[in-house]
Amino acid sequence: MDAVIPFFEQVNRHFDKAARLTKYPPGLLSQIKECNSVFHAAFPVKRDDGSIEVMHAWRAEHSTHKLPVKGGIRYAPHVSEDEVMALAAMMTYKCALVNVPFGGAKGAVRLDRTLYSDAEIERITRRFTYELVCKNYIGPGIDVPAPDYGTGAREMSWIVDTFTALTKDPLDAAGCVTGKPLPLGGIRGRTEATGRGVFYGVREALKDAVVQKTTGLDAGVEGKTVVVQGLGNVGYYAARFLQDAGARLTALAEREGAIQSDRGLDLEAVIAHRKQTGSILDFPGARNLPATEAALELECDVLVPAALENQITIANADRIRARIIAEAANGPVTADAAERLLARRIVMIPDIFLNSGGVTVSYFEWVKNLSHVRFGRMDKRHEETSNLRILRAVEELTGQRVDAQRLATAVAGAGEAELVDSGLEDTMIAAWAEIGEARARYDSDLRTAAYLISIEKVAQSYVDRGIFP
């Protein structure tokens, strides 16, 4: 049963499958695959009742071929060193694939958020930041965390505030972490970035001739049936953008269970129902499924597992009836299950490509923090003035006047949100094109093609620095 194989080994299986197709020496490939360093911290935290609890936390830096390294911090009850190492490795390959100049890292604190007050979470976050500072595992030019499962903008604000108080160089301190609130140096579009990237990735896959031939689906998101597992930040926005583009959400799954409707589910209505009742179950017009996992086995065009790793294993791979599995989570399909699904001609859009929207926009935020200039601030008005001059010239030539409302829309310059969205879309389109080229060059599946691209880029960085011949 591959579900019991350690997560880091799962990632390395994908790496080894791709590495066999390269011509790089074994020593270089081994250097790329290994995790450079792992920091384990055990620190005391005072609970609200006055008791002391020892917390366990990790930060793994998988590859420093580029600095800083980058990766989220998750708060979850079952995290381990192996999980953090695996996710750090995936960040290395993800950043290389989409041409984001970071190495890969990941962090975690082992806790169940439902058992801690907000004040306790703040104390835990600030103490973990202190531990990272003391061991030189955080800094805008060293290691830059971000939100992950169980964390968000609030935790990032505590991290940057603590780091700023401790650093000897506060000028660029905001760049020590991404996913911050806007007033603390965050960037517009970061919250929905991963989910938006999932949408762009699915859209590009559906345009692909090879994918169309394999699945029998035509181009375009409109009319496609979609099942989404996980309505956290990634799953919610992926579902929203897919639905806005005309897809039909036929099932949604969360921790408490799953609901299904062939006619389609209104995402916002489901979210409102969950806020009111505490559950997506018993949503009007939908049927409850016997278990969350049952949603994975429904017939659909696109299945979006957006929860945690190891959701599709060798145990349920033969019952998957999706034509496309869009891996919005990290490692939702185990290595053995992936081989079984490939044999059944089910297309898997690989996680190291599909969920790279978050780190892409984090890169934009980091650049913004170091440059100390909001995107669009210097050129938005200039762009609007230039557009207006062109339209006025057209009006003079044609004798036709454009009404005020259309004029305002036509000349509008791009602000930060528009520039971030444009940069993300371009990144996803370019990365998909690279994957398609590698797939054809090596006659491989999409995941292997994605890993091949990543390996080649990381390897070349070592060669260019003269570390390996």
- Reported as half-sphere exposure (CB side, CA atoms, 13 A), residue 69 has a value of 29
Q: Is 275 a catalytic residue?
A: no
Helix (H, G, I), strand (E, B) or coil at 38: strand
Beta bridge partners of 29: none
Q: Decide: 202 and 242 in contact? Cβ < 8 Å.
A: yes
Tokens 């290691």 belong to 143
Helix (H, G, I), strand (E, B) or coil at 272: helix
Question: What residues contact residue 122 under an 8 Å CB cut-off, 6+ apart?
Answer: 158
DSSP H or E stretch at residue 53: strand 52-61
What single DSSP character describes residue 58? E
What single DSSP character describes residue 136? T
The CA distances from residue 455 to 316, 413, 460, in Å, are 30, 39, 8
pLDDT of residue 389: 87
Evaluated on CA atoms 84, 86, 89, 95, the torsion sign reads negative
pLDDT of residue 390: 87
Write out the chain's pLDDT in tens, 469 residues.
Answer: 454 689 999 999 999 999 999 999 999 999 999 999 999 999 999 999 999 999 999 999 999 999 999 999 999 999 999 999 999 999 999 999 999 999 999 999 999 999 999 999 999 999 999 999 999 999 999 999 999 999 999 999 999 999 999 999 999 999 999 999 999 999 999 999 999 999 999 999 999 999 999 999 999 999 999 999 999 999 999 999 999 999 999 999 999 999 999 999 999 999 999 999 999 999 999 999 988 889 999 999 999 999 988 999 999 999 999 999 999 999 999 999 999 999 999 999 999 999 999 999 999 999 999 999 988 887 887 788 888 888 888 888 888 888 888 878 777 777 899 999 999 999 999 999 999 999 999 999 999 999 999 999 999 999 888 877 6
> Tokens standing for 119?
């004040």
Apex 95 CA angle, 368 and 60, nearest 5: 95
The CA distances from residue 355 to 191, 244, 373, in Å, are 13, 19, 27
Q: Give CA–CA dist 305/329, Å, rounded.
A: 6
Give me the domains of the chain, ranges plus CATH numbers: 36-186 (3.40.50.10860), 193-357 (3.40.50.720)
Tally of residues, the chain: 469
> Tokens standing for 453?
């691209």
Q: Give CA–CA dist 42/442, Å, rounded.
A: 46
Q: Give CA–CA dist 403/408, Å, rounded.
A: 9
- Reported as half-sphere exposure (CB side, CA atoms, 13 A), residue 342 has a value of 14
pLDDT of residue 1: 41
Q: Give CA–CA dist 262/149, Å, rounded.
A: 30
- Selecting among 66, 70, 106, 224, the annotated active-site residue is 106
Helix, strand, coil % (nearest 5) of the chain?
50, 15, 35
Q: How many Å is the Cα radius of gyration of the chain?
A: 23
Give the number of other Cβ atoms within 10 Å of residue 440's Cβ. Answer: 11
Helix (H, G, I), strand (E, B) or coil at 168: coil
pLDDT of residue 3: 47
Q: Decide: 228 and 238 in contact? Cβ < 8 Å.
A: yes
Q: Give CA–CA dist 121/43, Å, rounded.
A: 14
| Closest C-alpha to 379, from 423, 333, 331, 413 | 413
